[in-house]
Amino acid sequence: MKNQMQFIRNCGLVILTMSCLLTGCSNAGKAGIKAMEKEDYKEAVTQFTQAASTAEAKGKKENAAEAYRGLGMAYYELKEYDKVLESMQKALDDGVQRTAELYNIMGVSAMQQEDYESALKYFDEGISYAQSKDAVNASKSKKEVDYSDLIQEMRYNQVVCYEKQENWEEAKNAANEYIADYPNDKDIEKEVEFLETR
């Protein structure tokens, strides 16, 4: 599995910080962001859980959504993938801004739980979002974001998901499309060699 989580972590922290500034998140939300920056993920879980609970009690869905996004990111760092998916789904349900990074985190988390069907769905949504007008509009309103590396990572992970499902035809198709777009990626060569035996 390709992994560019430093990029995702940095983008996620920027998004959390911007959202916190825009929505006026609670002190617990700000403390959660600070804990993430210090890589104190257990403290971040505590703070984001408190922020989500407070926001829900006050009926502030937007703030709760951002707290759940932060909670999902903290759980990701702790490798508690079931909780990542639960937190990110709550964030989506509460109306969090959809991002390619969010869907990638969900896809990787589903892969870690060997739920390859869900992972493929999340990667599809992430790629679609990254290529959509919404992503272009969001990047214009904030900082310009180049999703090309993230799209490449998600497409590679799709090949792996198809392999894990033993869906050899889809894996071969996805690998061939990947090679056509990324001919210099040496990692895919191993996958292609493996697929040739199937």
Query: Per-residue pLDDT tens for 113-167?
Result: 999 999 999 999 999 999 886 655 555 455 567 889 999 999 999 999 999 999 9
- DSSP track, the chain: ----HHHHHHHHHHHHHHHHHHHT--HHHHHHHHHHHTT-HHHHHHHHHHHHHHHHHTT-HHHHHHHHHHHHHHHHHTT-HHHHHHHHHHHHHTTPPP-HHHHHHHHHHHHHTT-HHHHHHHHHHHHHHHTSHHHHHHHHHSS----HHHHHHHHHHHHHHHHHTT-HHHHHHHHHHHHHH-TT-SHHHHHHHHHHT-
Q: Say what the pLDDT of residue 11 is.
A: 47
pTM of the entire structure?
0.82
Q: Say what the pLDDT of residue 198 is.
A: 84
Q: Say what the pLDDT of residue 58 is.
A: 93
What are the structural domains of the chain? 1-97 (1.25.40.10), 116-198 (no CATH)
Assess whether pLDDT exceeds 60 at residue 168: yes
Q: Say what the pLDDT of residue 112 is.
A: 97
